[in-house]
Amino acid sequence: MAETRAKIAVDAMGGDNAPQEIVAGAIRASAELDVDILLVGDPEAIQAQLDHHGCTSTNIEIVAADGVVSMEEEALVGVRRKPNASINVAMGLVRENRAQAVVSAGHSGAAMAAALLGLGRLKGIDRPAIGAVFPTMYANKSVIVLDVGANVDSKPKYLEQFALMGTVYSKYVLGVEDPKVGLINIGEESSKGNELAKETYKLLSENPKIPFIGNAEGRDVLSGNFDVIVCDGFVGNVLLKFAEAVGEIMLQIIKEELPYGVRGKIGTGILKPNLRRIKQRIDHAEHGGALLFGVNGVCIISHGSSQAPSIFSAIRIAKEAVDNQVLDRIRNFQGEKSVSNEQLGITN
């Protein structure tokens, strides 16, 4: 693990509920996690929120930025036109080694563009991928799906690279000793699917570094039978949004079906710990955000509607990626010669 405290740059102006919810989540993270927070944005607006919460934490620092890339702007144009926007300044902090990770709930396309322009890609990676962690039918077991939106169109070699990065994350961050990789398809047989699926199946099967076990149909995503699932960004984004909607519907159904009156209060009180665990497993807000794989820095992209709990979770995810040295492990995994954890100075 990393010996120094993780330092996370948070885009305080990005998102529908900025800066109030972003700052509130950062305050909680500074109190509960072993991290230092750099809040990037309008100093007066950020300080007003810190004062509102009575926060005087020495773990939080304000870094001034001018403007924000709005959701209505074309991502690349906005990033280039506004070099001092909060997302650009946040990426600059990582580039300058003043921070180790960025968290943003702002324009996801702008976050990806700023990461590519400001940090560059990891060697051997042709396209970045957004990886999101999904719950499964088993408690304490998750599956990471990538790509969930960075690349609408992909090539087989991109998906092969996604599988490599997902394997590293599953093993060293999610703690899966022997990750199982699957490829989204319309059937289990290797002959099924479009040309992208067929060619990718061949690449994954032939790569000795990828623990590929075969195709995964839609029903398999949350089954717990796979630890890493790869697909193009179009399919992955549909999966992500569908899973979020299902989670919200399930939570709403549970609320509606609980009995009313005295019986309801008593029953809810008894079930409260169970209901809390159910919410933690299926509510996408509990998962915080998705990691942008393939760029030369840790970048967490959160939902635009994120509130304080989601921002807290996103900062936690960023800290886990930093502490487990995901970037170094991916670089090592990509290399032709295997280097031991001891040589990298990494311990589990």
Q: Judge whether residue 257 has pLDDT over 70.
A: no
Q: Give Rg (Cα) of the chain.
A: 20
Q: Judge whether residue 344 has pLDDT over 90.
A: no
Give CA–CA dist 313/280, Å, rounded: 11
* 39-56 average pLDDT score: 95
Q: Judge whether residue 323 has pLDDT over 70.
A: yes
Enter the pTM of the model. 0.83
Give CA–CA dist 233/236, Å, rounded: 5
Beta bridge partners of 206: none
Query: Quick one: which of 240, 269, 9, 37 has its CA closest to 133?
Result: 240
List the domains of the chain with CATH numbers: 6-125+294-344 (3.40.718.10), 146-287 (3.40.718.10)
Question: Are 142 and 287 within 8 A, CB to CB?
Answer: no
Give CA–CA dist 250/16, Å, rounded: 24
> What percent of the chain stands above pLDDT 70?
85
Give CA–CA dist 146/79, Å, rounded: 24
- Return the pLDDT at 259: 65
Question: Are 61 and 91 within 8 A, CB to CB?
Answer: no
Tokens of 251: 């939570």
Sheet strand arrangement including 60-64: 60-64, 35-41, 6-11, 101-104, 298-302, 289-293, 129-135, 142-146, 228-230, 181-184, 212-216
- CA 328 remoteness from chain centre: 18
Tokens of 221: 């995503």
Tokens of 81: 């036109």
Q: Judge whether residue 30 has pLDDT over 90.
A: yes
* 75-88 average pLDDT score: 94
Q: Which residue has the tokens 């993780």?
A: 6
* 304-316 average pLDDT score: 91
Q: Judge whether residue 272 has pLDDT over 80.
A: no
- Return the pLDDT at 105: 93
Confidence at 342, pLDDT banded by 50, 70, 90: very low
Instruction: Tell me the pLDDT tens digit for each residue of 86-142.
Output: 999 999 999 999 999 999 999 989 999 999 999 999 988 999 999 998 888 777 788
